[in-house]
Amino acid sequence: MQQEFQQQRKTEGDPEPDAKDITLLSTQHPSAFSKWKKNLKVILPLLILGLGLVLAFFIYKTGPETSKKPPVNIRPLVTTQKVHPSSESVMLRAMGTVIPARQMQLKARVSGEIVSIRAEFIEGGMFKKGEDLFQIDPEDYKLAVAQKQSQVVNARYKLKLEQGRQDVAKREWQLLNKETEAKPLDIELSLRKPHLEKAEADLAAAEANLKQANLNLERTKVRAPFNAIIIEKNVEQGSQISSQDQLAELAGTDAYWVQASIPVDRLGWITVPRKPGDAASTVRILYGEGVERIGIVIKLLGDLEEDGRMARVLVLVKDPLYLKTPETNKPPLLLGEYVKVEIQGRRLENVFSIPRTALRDNGKVWIVDDDDKLIIRNVDVLWRDIQTVLLKDGVQAGEQIIVSDLAAPVNGMSVRVETASDEPGGRKQ
């Protein structure tokens, strides 16, 4: 209304109305102003809506067009492996500890002062059987030998004298008692038989004492009782020792044992010899940077270990220090070393070997049929470890076993098949 009033003033050539004139007009024409204000509230939203529609239509017409794509194949991709019957050996994997096969505490058999000792008689030193280790002062034992030799000579002298007296006694008895009967005891005394027996016994005792003295003198040289390595040394040159002192600890170098722990329920899979010469399971021993040794099971210990209640077997490893092949560059086995043990068990015929990851729910496998459908099947498990499972029944030769994982497997669902890279002869899509 104010705009109409202003337009009328402009037409008539009147000057621009001021605020008071407009206020006065609104006061003088209230109905006209209210009508104009009401129309504005209706027209303005319609105008905005129309502009929005025009803008939306423009964007729709000028926007990029999307191209149609073929539908995506949503069948899950699986990796399979063909199975075939084969002859497989059961392999028991465990950890073991290297221990001596022959070990002893070295003690001297005579006492005295150690007057000389081998330079190699140190911890880690190795000796062959019969080699001298150290020398005990032999002087006292040499004197004892001389004394015993004198006693032997004296006993022989007395025996010869008695033998001469025996001849004299026999002649006297023949001359004086030709026709006289005598008691057996009188005859023995007259012929000096007890005297002869005593002289002979004295000589035997003197010779035995001499032999013992020579043995003691020989024992002043302490020698290696077998091919051995020094584990611990307790004496030095000048040490006073007795027959009760522990001089050193020795371990045999011809062979070591590996003590391995295995579950009790798996003992039936390995062969333990009952006596020397019986068949035994072969063992592969791994240590260091891929070093491999071969041993055999020789014994089953009669008790279980206290911590894990596991059975323990002993594995024999010959020449653990490579003393018979010194040119090799392989590191030797060390006592106390932890090693990996693979015990070859019984051999199974016509079984199917699959990866451990292909066994589902502790007794099922996933199979892909010729129509690329998933089949969930129960199987008969003969053997399992952390890497391999051996099956007897439940699968057929040439079937595709799924070795990969599926988020939600459903029996009969369609899958896309990709053969495992290490298994030839499979399908790939």
Residue 386 sits in the same domain as residue 308: no
Residue pLDDT, tens place only, 167-219: 766 766 666 665 556 556 555 655 567 777 888 898 999 999 999 999 999 99
Are residues 132 and 223 in contact, defined by beta-carbon separation less than 8 angstroms? yes
Closest CA to 400 of 78, 88, 73: 78
Are residues 250 and 122 in contact, defined by beta-carbon separation less than 8 angstroms? no
Residue 262 sits in the same domain as residue 342: yes
Chain centroid to Cα 191, Å, comes to: 80
Are residues 293 and 333 in contact, defined by beta-carbon separation less than 8 angstroms? yes
Task: Report the CATH number that the domain containing residue 282 is assigned in CATH.
Answer: 2.40.30.170
Highest mean pLDDT among 16-25, 40-49, 63-72, 328-337: 328-337
Strands (E), 101-140: 103-106, 112-117, 126-127, 132-136
Residue 160's pLDDT is: 84
Q: What is the DSSP string of 51-83?
A: HHHHHHHHHHHHSPPPPP-PPP--PPEEEEEE-
Q: Give me the residue label for tokens 């949503």.
A: 74
Model pTM greater than 0.85?
no
Q: Give me the residue label for tokens 């002979």.
A: 200
Please determine, for residue 10, whether its predicted confidence score (pLDDT) is greater than 70: no
Number of domains the chain is built from = 4
Residue 424's pLDDT is: 39
Residue 428's pLDDT is: 41
Provide the residue range defining the domain that includes 205.
138-219
Q: Could you tell me if residue 246 is inside a domain? A: no
Can you tell me the mean pLDDT for 231-241?
Answer: 93
Residue 25 sits in the same domain as residue 55: yes
User: Cα–Cα distances in Å, from 303 out to 213, 263, 374?
Assistant: 46, 13, 48
Residue pLDDT, tens place only, 60-97: 777 666 666 666 667 888 999 999 999 988 889 999 99
Residue 212 sits in the same domain as residue 289: no
Q: Where do the H-state alpha helices sit in 328-403?
A: none
Among the three residues 318, 346, 374, which one is the final residue of a domain in this structure?
346
Residue 197 sits in the same domain as residue 270: no
Alpha carbons 163 and 165: distance in angstroms, whole number: 5
User: Percent of the chain beyond pLDDT 70?
Assistant: 81
Neighbours of 274 (CB within 10 A): 10
Alpha carbons 385 and 356: distance in angstroms, whole number: 7
Total residue length of the chain = 429
Contacts of 398 (CB under 8 A, 6+ apart): 82, 83, 84
